[in-house]
Structure 1
């Protein structure tokens, strides 16, 4: 039996730290949406308090089977009303801190799932 090493052509989150993530080794400072089918764009928010229904409606328009919401350096849940557009499209939503969201996205994207990571990247304390 011939075995092949795992190789994925999807975007991966290769590192993270306070105030940044790396997508395919490119450092990104600022909130970002990354998808397993090549989706990638800045997500217009720098603090959890700036999020609203429009941010999650934007995610619903992407047609993914699952959205992973990285809520920053600690876990915070979006208001249920914000998730209505995703629920209407039967899109799953998981909330976790941003480092956990990065790890989970990589696993699911590597399995070939159509997954979106919406990552809230907050400035390090004091900046």
Structure 2
């Protein structure tokens, strides 16, 4: 049996830990949006309690089929009203802690799915 490393043609999350992510060789210590289509940008939210519907509406792009929401170091759901815009567009939403969201994003992106990950890295929280 021949083993070969997985090759992801989409933007991949290469490493992660509490409070940080490595994407495309760059370390990030704040919330990020990562898309299989190459989208990589800061997600302007530093605390779970500060999330609004606008934060989630900004994730909807043409062709996105699923959003993976990484809720921080532990699993925390947001009020369904914050996700209403995504759901109304027919975009699926899955919530998990940020570490699990990073791994799930890589799997879905590697399968060629049109996925966006919104990864919350809380800053200034003790």
Q: Same fold (TM over 0.5)?
A: yes
User: 1:23-38, aligned counterparts within 5 Å?
Assistant: 23-38=23-38
The runs of 5 or more residues in structure 2 that have no matched partner are none
- Determine if contact 2:45/2:120 at 8 Å carries over to the other structure: yes
In structure 2, the partner of 1:73 is 73
SS at structure 1 position matched to 2:67: strand
Residue 8 (structure 1) shift:
1.9
In structure 1, the partner of 2:119 is 119
In structure 2, the partner of 1:12 is 12
In structure 1, the partner of 2:59 is 59
Moved over 4 A (4+): none
Residue 124 (structure 1) shift:
7.6
**CA-to-aligned-CA distance 1:44-101 (integer Å, 9 cap, x gap):** 1111011011101111245410000000000111111111110111000000000000
* Gap change, CA 1:62 and 1:122, over 3 Å in 2: farther
TM-score, length-normalised on structure 2? 0.90
In structure 2, the partner of 1:40 is 40
Separation in structure 1 between the aligned mates of residue 74 and residue 5 of structure 2, nearest angstrom? 35
Residue 20 (structure 1) shift:
1.0
TM-score, length-normalised on structure 1? 0.90
- Determine if contact 1:69/1:94 at 8 Å carries over to the other structure: yes
CA-based RMSD of the aligned residues comes to 1.9
In structure 1, the partner of 2:82 is 82
The runs of 5 or more residues in structure 1 that have no matched partner are none
